[in-house]
Chains A and B, each alone.
Chain A
Amino acid sequence: MAGLELLSDQGYRLDGRKATELRKVQARMGVFAQADGSAYIEQGNTKALAVVYGPHEMRGSRSRTLHDRAVINCQYSMATFSTAERKRRPHGDKKSTEMSLHLKQTFEAAILTQLYPRSQIDIFVKILQADGGNYSVCVNAATLAVIDAGIPMRDYVCACTVGFVDETPLADLCYTEENGGVSSLALALLPRGGQIALLQMDARLHQDHLETMMEAAMIACKGVSKVLDEVVRQHLQEASALSRD
């Protein structure tokens, strides 16, 4: 008995967006000086912090070393204060392990790892406030951090979640929408080539609708990429202005 009407007859969602509209994205790069790369992103009320170390020599077990490319090590975590009710979240629980793996897969597809054989790149992402679309916000944050670290990538990796309500795909779901019984899909895209780095969905959806969902997700990802691109260019301008001084 989901009492909420996720998409009104007039085409508005709960928070006043239309079906294809993204939440407001604000981001900053280079928030920490000590890490090689870092970024902070707000997508609506979902806030995430990403930090990148590397590429550097393998640490820990050397047996994981790959001889033709770099190893990517991802860690995802959520702050205790990130949800409405404070909750201790120990490392290595199922959900965050899964999320870490997804991130790893995504970035293995995007970073030119073969340039750094026998080395390691660490990506740490922390959700500071969760309001839906955690995975995609993490990917977007990590992309910025990787760029900030100067690690070459094929393209930006942009991610977005899409839900399906009343035969209409909704872009960039917020928490209430995600919990409103919507089948949602997360997609990470390399926008320039249109390659999909990761596609994840664990809800039921009719096969016929998959196509429209993916299309909507790709459009949304391209929207995100535009914003990220702007953020990067702005950051570069600021940085070069600083260095000129």
Chain B
Amino acid sequence: MIKTERLLHLKSSRGRKVRVVREHYLRERVPCYSALCQADCDNDGKVLPGDLTHYVIPDVGIVLDFLEILEFREIQGIIFTQTACQAVQHNKGRRQYNRLRNLLKDPRHDCVLFVNEFQKYSYCPREKGESQEKWQTRCVYSAAVWFYNHLAGLKDIVMVTDDSEAVAQYSSLNSGVYVISMQEYLHSFWSDVNAAHELYSSIVQAVQERESEGSEREYQEHLPPEVLEAGIKCGRYMQGILSVNKHRAQQEALVTTQGFSNKSTGLSCDVLVLGVKNRNRAVHGDSVVVELLPHSEWRGRTTALTEAQGEERSMEDQNNQPMPTGRVVGILQRNWRDYVVTFPTRETQTQSRNSQKILTVPWDHRIPKIRISTQQADTLQDHRVVVRIDSWDSTSLYPNGHSVRVLGRAGELETEVQTILIENCISVPPFSEAQLREMPVVSPERPWNPDPEQVTTRRDLRQTHLVFSIDPKGCEDVDDTLSVSRLPKGGLELGVHIADVTHFVKEGSLTDQEARARATTYYLADRRYDMLPEVLSANLCSLLGGVDRYAMSVLWELDSASLEVRSVWFGRTLIRSSYQLHYELAQALLNGEDATVPELNQLNPEEQSQRLAELTQALETLTHVARHLRAQRDRGGALELEGVEVRAQLDSEKNITALVPRQPLEVHETVAECMIFANHWVARKIQESFPHQALLRHHPPPRQEFFSQLQESARARGFTIDTRSNKSLADSLEQAVDPQDPVVNRLLRMMATQAMSQAMYFSTGAVPADQYYHYGLALDRYTHFTSPIRRYADVIVHRLLMAALDLDRGLSSTLASNRELEETAQHINNRNRAAQHAQRLSTELFQCLFFRERDPESDPSCVSDAVIYAIRDNGLLVFVPQYGVKGPVYLRSREGEVLTFGADGHCEWSSGTVKKHSDHITTSSLSGSTTFRLFQHITVRISVQSNRCHADSLNLEVIQNAPHETSNPDLVPTQSKVQLIQEVHRQAEESLQKASVKPKLSREERQYCQSKQPNLYSLLEEIRELSLMDEEASAKKLCATTA
């Protein structure tokens, strides 16, 4: 190593210029990360392949402006220089820098980092009087030359720069190093990557626009970061995440102060930011700094329902509690993502200054309009387009952005589904060649067989244990199986065997990376995006009947009388499932009904009955154990929450013909209970082995104030709900049943679910031990272990469990540290939230598409029964059991007219007043008055409110103040949901006049017989989470409507 010194002139804290001398060590050996390396560089990790036509080294300016283009996977062989990386870090901030870092880490992308400034021969010290840009370009060029020489001229090096002087100066200097501009580079090397070209021109335009900005100021300047930080520390400012109110995007935004309860002002609640000026260019999701306004300017939130058109209303804040109100003074961290926008139609385009600049309307209500420059405005009318925001200067009313790619025409099914995916940042490209190459080859000629080596190391349960699976009918991706047997020396042995995904998906492999990025399988209303390639999820990892499979097993030895756990064994096993049962069959066997088990058909009757007895015996024992476990948890206070639970029914071709509401069979609960038990024990094991780096799942107790609506509503019906603990809540919900109306209990449970906080994954090192508790399941430690095929968390837990077992044997293995694990946990939580959100949005999308084709005036399916579950200032919130739709109903229109019913039950709109009470709301006008009570059944008409730029929404309208006569709401609550999906598909197909447009996935479903939801347990779990999720969305809705 050679020591040199580097002089820097920095500003000191007091603003004086200071001369700083920093050491700078150079070395001869810096890894080049190229497969062609002649000098045995220490290249571990990602290596550039040798078979590319050239390597490209982008200049600093290119990396700063066109990083997005370099992100294309088609563009291979990129060498980023350290100089460029540092420039990104300094000029573009942490977010952009992290993006670059992730790009470098991503094994799917061919790019490496060359640490040019620490390389003895490629480093060039800055000369006196040389500008920073010139010096950086020189550094990059010298790195390019070094590379050329280092690879002994085997590979041509292309340096891309937009500095025309540099092109002129350097291009003729060296034979193998070409210096060209970005445009030229894209044209000559990647002329087939059209998307890159489009993006390039879009960015260039945005850059030009930025330079030619006007100077009139629309917003206050943001304060510099030092001032912000000092202000936060001394309590003058508060820091938080901005979330914009979806229903009053122009007006209201809340800043959620994270954890910093501000001591000096005694404030720990959220800060309201009113109006666009006060919001000062912050966008939903940004981390901002707010300054509180004086007390006299504090305002309350509006509680009235607003019409979805989003027109501004005058604030009705007189009677509302004023809350802390502030204005944004600075932004700590932008949190911009890709946004889906819609181009305006030509008529509405404002041809103000420049016809190339167009204001586009984002799909998400909370995002401001984005100004982009494009020449394609005419062709892109009514299309949905993905854009990115580049900047938002104080001189501009709207942010500037550029378009990235076109999704398709608004309103079409594919476009809308893509929109949902992008808005939730879900990226699910098909699995790449390289990923699929990692998978074992399976074909009918060469079936997969266990590796003899594995057979010797695993515990072989094939002969000794009766293993069976219970799943929904027709399900073929089985990730859990069960076994139970009596031990010869007394006692019971209960076993849960889970698919051994980690055997096939090695940590750090491409498949693992992809699964980690996806974190979960995404279920949309009509399709599914798998976390793992099909060969694993439907075949090798699936614990099918009659074939040998690898498994991770948990075996408990229970006392036969008290059912106490005597000992537990974890480990890798080899199993062969004897029976692949479905729920109805299992229940029939339990009930002693006559049922045929397909696996036994070939045997003679004698043997058949003997085997059947054996199986029935096992099922009975299992039920016995599960009852005991459930009772144990119930004593602890486990909750049963309401969700709409359904099962897929498949016909002979494995098409889903209908969803049948859950017939609550006991065997469902038995299976679920065993899974919870396994999860719990695994959680205990890994937490004890790795107290600081185990992945668990907790469910924090809900905040009591969220229960107020539930308690109020229950009081209206004369029930009291005790919410002090999960046990009392479970008990009182149990009792709150109205014998005449089963919907009441369902709604109460739904409201309880809304009050719940969300269950989350976490790393044990990051959370104090008293917060490990799972409120809903009433367990002190819980994790996810039983569905590794569709959840990445389970994969991590499997690895942790293996490491824990190694640790017991005295082997140590490297694990993710607490911090890394916590990051992963946050990532999985985020993805789960996105998955649930996307699932809900897609359901809503299908509902809208379903009703769009129907005429609300004539079609009987548009009229339905609804139950009032909450009352607002000018309307009601109702639940439509038949379609599972929740929504607002307005009793007062914008013109101030109210809805009343005449004596004949006919409704009319006339001017009048609305009076709200705690459990009922009365409208009165000249023609009479009408009262609506909580839990009253009314009849509503459903119509679609179409919206060009945003998602369509359903509009509910009261047409009768009495239950809908024909409807029998609870009998088939969601049967219509699947019909609805099929209906919509049929319509889409008809309109496209193509028979083959049937989505590809349904064909796959047919092929692999995969049910949309793998099994009922997971389905229940998902619905439970979904309903927990609902809380967030409805909470937002409530934000809009409650003070």
Contacts and interface: CB of A to CB of B under 8 A. Distances in A.
Interface of A: 1, 3, 5, 8-10, 12, 14-17, 21, 23-24, 44-45, 84-85, 131, 167, 174, 176, 208
Interface residues of B, number: 30
B23 A84 contact: no
Interface string B10-40: 0010001011111111110000000000000
A14 B225 contact: no
Contacts of A16: 1, 24-27, 117-118
B462 to A, nearest CB: 42
Contacts of A3: 89-90
B118 A167 contact: no
Given A10-B113, A84-B18, A85-B12, A174 B105 contact: no
B104 A14 contact: no
Interface string B783-826: 00000000000000000000000000000000001010000000
Contacts of B26: 16
8 contacts: A3-B90, A5-B89, A9-B101, A10-B113, A15-B25, A24-B25, A131-B21, A176-B22
A176 B817 CA distance: 26
Nearest to A13: B25
A164 to B, nearest CB: 12
B380 interface: no
Ranked 3 nearest A-B pairs via Cβ: A16-B25, A16-B118, A15-B23
B105 A9 contact: yes
B919 interface: no
B439 interface: no
**Residue of B3, B21, B90 contacting most chain A CB atoms (<10 Å):** B3
A1 B23 contact: no
Contacts of A174: 22-23
B692 interface: yes
A88 to B, nearest CB: 17
B115 interface: yes
Interface in B79-116: 82, 89-90, 101, 104-105, 113, 115
A1 B22 contact: no
A24 B225 CA distance: 36
Contacts of A85: 12, 16, 18
Nearest to B5: A45
A23 B225 CA distance: 33
Nearest to A24: B3
Interface string B202-234: 000000000000000000000001000100000
Contacts of B5: 45
Interface of B: 1, 3, 5, 12, 16, 18-27, 82, 89-90, 101, 104-105, 113, 115, 117-118, 225, 229, 692, 817, 819
A5 B26 CA distance: 18
A84 B104 contact: no
A210 to B, nearest CB: 14
Contacts of B117: 16
A84 B12 contact: yes
B22 A15 contact: yes
B24 A1 contact: no
A131 B3 CA distance: 15
B560 to A, nearest CB: 43
A150 B337 CA distance: 68
Given A16-B117, A85-B18, A23 B12 contact: no
Contacts of A131: 21, 23
B582 to A, nearest CB: 48
Contact of A84 (B20, B25, B113): B20
A16 to B, nearest CB: 4
B21 A45 contact: yes
B19 A84 contact: yes
B6 to A, nearest CB: 8
A173 to B, nearest CB: 12
Contacts of B18: 84-85
Contacts of A15: 22-25
A126 B27 CA distance: 32
Contacts of B101: 9
B25 A17 contact: yes
Nearest to A11: B115
B23 A45 contact: yes
Contacts of A17: 1, 25
A227 B369 CA distance: 65
Given A1-B225, A84-B12, A167 B113 contact: no
A176 B24 CA distance: 12
A12 B118 contact: yes
B477 to A, nearest CB: 37
Nearest to B14: A85
A167 B22 contact: no
Nearest to A15: B23
Nearest to A44: B23
Contact of B1 (A1, A8, A21, A176): A21
A12 B115 contact: yes
B315 to A, nearest CB: 37
Nearest to A22: B1
A44 to B, nearest CB: 5
A15 B82 CA distance: 13
Contacts of A176: 22
B115 A10 contact: yes
B657 to A, nearest CB: 53
Contacts of A167: 817, 819
A9 B106 CA distance: 13
B229 A1 contact: yes
Contacts of B105: 9
Interface centre among A5, A16, A131 (most CB of B within 10 A): A16
A23 B115 contact: no
A8 to B, nearest CB: 8
A14 B819 CA distance: 22
A14 B229 CA distance: 24
A9 B82 CA distance: 11
Contacts of A14: 22
Contact of A23 (B19, B23, B82, B104): B23
B124 to A, nearest CB: 14
A223 to B, nearest CB: 13
Contacts of B27: 16
Contacts of A24: 1, 3, 25
A9 B23 contact: no
Given A24-B25, A84-B19, 7 more contacts: A5-B89, A8-B115, A10-B113, A12-B115, A21-B25, A23-B23, A45-B22
Nearest to B22: A15
Contacts of B118: 12, 16
B1, B25, B27, most chain A CB atoms within 10 A: B25
Nearest to A132: B23
Most chain A CB neighbours (cut-off 10 Å) among B1, B89, B104: B1
A191 to B, nearest CB: 22
Nearest to B112: A10
Contacts of B104: 9
Contacts of A21: 1, 25
Contacts of A10: 113, 115
A15 to B, nearest CB: 5
B105 to A, nearest CB: 7
B146 to A, nearest CB: 16
B321 to A, nearest CB: 35
A16 B82 CA distance: 11
A24 to B, nearest CB: 5
A167 B24 CA distance: 24
Nearest to B332: A1
A8 B104 CA distance: 12
A3 B93 CA distance: 9
A3 B89 CA distance: 8
A199 to B, nearest CB: 24
A45 B16 CA distance: 22
A84 B115 CA distance: 28
A208 B692 contact: yes
A27 to B, nearest CB: 15
B21, B115, B118 — most chain A CB neighbours (10 Å): B118
